[in-house]
Amino acid sequence: VQTIAHNSQVGHKDRKAQTGTVNDPISLDELAALDADNKRLKRLLAEQLRAQNLWLKKKLERSYAD
């Protein structure tokens, strides 16, 4: 959904900006592809965060062991 603003025209001081919406249709195939991509990206991010947390824990353990 896009929002479109219409500015007041010159000479029409009483007219105020108007906003409206325009539906941007999306196919079910596109929606399914976006959903699958979002799930893949979330899974990848979670894996990276787990790996980073493990690396940080090991680094902390080494620094406290010294």
In terms of average pLDDT, the best of 5-9, 20-24, 38-42 is 38-42
What is the pLDDT at residue 30? 97
pTM score:
0.56
Higher-confidence residue of 17 and 6: namely: 17
State the DSSP string of 3-61.
EEEEPPPTT-TT---EEEEE-----HHHHHHHHHHHHHHHHHHHHHHHHHHHHHHHHHH
What is the pLDDT at residue 17? 60
Residues 39-56: tens digit of each pLDDT: 999 999 999 999 999 999
The mean pLDDT of the chain is 81
Each domain of the chain, given as residue ranges in start order, spans: 2-65
